[in-house]
Amino acid sequence: MAASRPTSVQLSPTPADRPVYVIGGGPGGLAAAYALRARGIRAVVLEKADHVGASWRRHYDRLHLHTTRRLSALPGLAIPRRFGRWVSRENVVRYLEKYAEHHELEIVTGVEVFRVERSGDGEGWLLHASGGRELTGSAVVVATGFNHTPRVPGWPGLDGYGGEFLHASAYRDARPFADRDVLVVGAGNTGAEIAVDLVEGGAARVRLAVRTAPHIVRRSTAGWAAQYTGVLVRRLPVRLVDRLARPLAKVSTPDLSAHGLPRPGTGLYSRVREGAIPVQDVGLIDAVRTGRVEVVAAVEGFEDGKVVLADGDRISPDAVVAATGYERALEDLVGHLGVLDERGRPVVHGGRAPAQAPGLYFTGFTNPISGMLRELAIDAQKIAKAVARRAARTSGRDSRDRP
């Protein structure tokens, strides 16, 4: 794609020409770059992969957005109607490519940023990047993504496990697992959907290891998308949403306690605030109810070629797919700046910059109930507004300082 590697990008701007550097060419980074450009601010996207939307290219083939097409578009370009209400992974990639091309965004691929620190004059930011590059920007937007580095728990005995083991990030489709016994570890949206994909793709046996039973919601009920409810309740008190969600869950989803998935004891929105988004049903309920997906206890470790479960059972699947999430991996990049909390998350996001790091912004490191892409679009506009306001203040100060 021509826009992915423009030849006009200057990688060593002078102090008088410091762009805003956007680290990451996923939806959050592209949206921020467009919003900045729309305000007349030069933004350069630095993407370590060879294409935009790298993380979306790695997701499993079956994946579709759990948010609607209309509420998933980035600023300045609608998602085509022909992509359907629930946009596929492949079409998300196509949309991101078209978005970069349509807005003629300034993107440099194959450049990885390792560390961000204050510039020597204290007026901007210095980026240490691959190839020995040192880039100075007026501001930085970190958009490296929620799904940055696959996380695998430190299970004892894993190194000696003789079966096939892979993280969900390496799973593409069910074909390699036809007629095989597969254990999926993790009952988030990824694990639930991979389990269903395996069943429908011909796996001989599919088990789902669950540590904490998730809240399960219908993706859409009578045309009303679960995302709409998420948008409506996001600003309401957590306890109120928890109370409202209980009776709705009993009406909309069956009790799967007899099949190993009891209704959670904690509130739906309380769990969201802790980082656990409800599982949107794309076939899991029926698969569990009919026994095609067997729910088992959490994985505790591996021993003598078997998987040890929390209830003491030992099972011998042919393959294990670990849908155990991702690390944001921001510590090396910005951890030294004191802008991360104890869990490695940015202390602020969107249009707010940390008090000790003015001009440093973060987007895409939360998993909101109202939809990731929707919130990325909102964050992009807030970031651009904040950058423009800060630039105006700086310009005014510079003009006053001139004799």
pLDDT digits (tens, 9 = 90+) for 7-54: 334 444 434 479 999 999 999 999 999 999 999 999 999 999 999 999
pLDDT at site 19: 97
∠ CA 316-294-64, nearest 5°, is 110
CB 151 within 8 A of CB 327: yes
Rounded average pLDDT over 184-213: 97
Structural domain boundaries of the chain? 7-148+328-401, 149-326
The secondary structure of 112-141 as a DSSP string is -EEEEEE-TTSSSEEEEEGGGEEEEESEEE
- 303 vs 397 pLDDT, higher one: 303
Helix (H) or strand (E) holding 205: strand 205-210
Domains 7-148+328-401 and 149-326 alike in fold: yes
CB 116 within 8 A of CB 337: yes
CB 115 within 8 A of CB 130: no
pLDDT at site 145: 87
Domain 7-148+328-401: CATH class, spelled out: alpha beta
CATH topology assigned to domain 149-326: FAD/NAD(P)-binding domain (3.50.50)
Closest CA to 172 of 30, 61, 328, 14: 61
Kindly tell me if the per-residue pLDDT of 311 is higher than 90.
Answer: yes
User: Long-range contacts of range 222-228, CB-CB < 8 Å, 24 or more positions apart?
Assistant: 225/67, 225/68, 225/71, 226/66, 226/278, 226/280, 227/66, 227/67, 227/68, 227/71, 227/370, 227/371, 227/374
pLDDT digits (tens, 9 = 90+) for 150-178: 999 999 999 999 899 999 999 999 999 99
Read off the pTM.
Answer: 0.90
Letter string b/e over residues 194-224, b meaning 16 or more CB atoms within 10 A of that residue's CB: bbbbbbebebebbbbbbeebbbbbbbbeeee
